[in-house]
């Protein structure tokens, strides 16, 4: 077999493989849609009001925009939406307008704890503040400069959101960007 024939066969084989991959992707993409709903946390049932198997939300300390220390436990007594995000994260930016809309509506009833993963390198307090003010967001932003929150919650990717009831127990959590309906569903579970 000559070198030219091998090259042509290699190109044809690669093209066939790419065609098959595109076909499979399109076929599966039409059947598999992301779940926009929110389920209960492990150990809970949809019908239980109070469940003794609930997991207590791990406490951690962050700083607010003025540099004051704030603990998650300071918000106990209120339902809490705990969101981990960064300004360089496209899915985080995608969900922020929905968080802002719901915060403006329910901010008196529900505590929003928008925790920026401020590592001092890829994400700085200045970058996060510039993004928030540039977008006109008014929800409270907290800075995890000592990286206490993310490890306490086992954060492996962002955005990740937890819904914590007024007694300080995690009701459910979602990894990935939330749409407004799912955010409201999570809040309904903790009110």
Rounded to an integer, what distance in angstroms lies between the CA atom of residue 82 and that of residue 170? Answer: 10
pLDDT at position 130: 98
Q: At what angle do helices 90-106 and 180-190 cross, to 10 degrees?
A: 50
Q: What sign results for the dihedral spanned by CA atoms 125, 128, 131, 133? A: negative
CA distances from 128 to 48, 107, 176 (A): 39, 21, 19
pLDDT at position 17: 62
Percent of the chain past pLDDT 70, that is, above it, reads 78
pLDDT at position 32: 36
Each residue of 73-103: pLDDT tens digit?
Answer: 999 999 999 999 999 999 999 999 999 999 9
Half-sphere exposure of 105 (CA within 13 A, CB side): 10
Its pTM stands at 0.76
Tell which wins on pLDDT, 10 or 21. Answer: 10
Each residue of 35-60: pLDDT tens digit?
Answer: 455 665 444 444 444 445 789 999 99
């Amino acid at each position: 077999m000559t070198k030219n024939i091998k090259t042509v066969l290699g190109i044809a084989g690669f093209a066939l493989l790419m065609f098959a991959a595109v076909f499979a992707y399109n076929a599966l993409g039409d059947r598999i849609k992301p779940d926009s709903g929110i389920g209960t946390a492990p150990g809970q049932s949809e019908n239980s009001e109070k469940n003794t198997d609930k997991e207590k939300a791990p406490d951690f300390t962050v700083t607010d925009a003025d540099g004051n220390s704030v603990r998650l436990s300071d918000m106990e007594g209120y339902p809490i939406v705990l969101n981990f995000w960064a300004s360089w994260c496209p899915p985080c930016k995608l969900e922020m307008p929905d968080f802002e809309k719901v915060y403006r509506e329910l901010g008196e009833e529900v505590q929003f704890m928008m925790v920026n993963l401020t590592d001092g390198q890829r994400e700085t307090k200045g970058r996060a503040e510039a993004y928030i003010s540039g977008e006109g967001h008014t929800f409270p932003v907290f800075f995890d400069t000592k990286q206490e929150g993310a490890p306490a919650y086992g954060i492996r990717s962002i955005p990740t959101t937890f819904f914590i009831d007024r007694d300080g127990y995690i009701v459910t959590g979602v990894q990935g960007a939330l749409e407004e309906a799912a955010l409201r569903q999570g809040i309904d579970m903790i009110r």
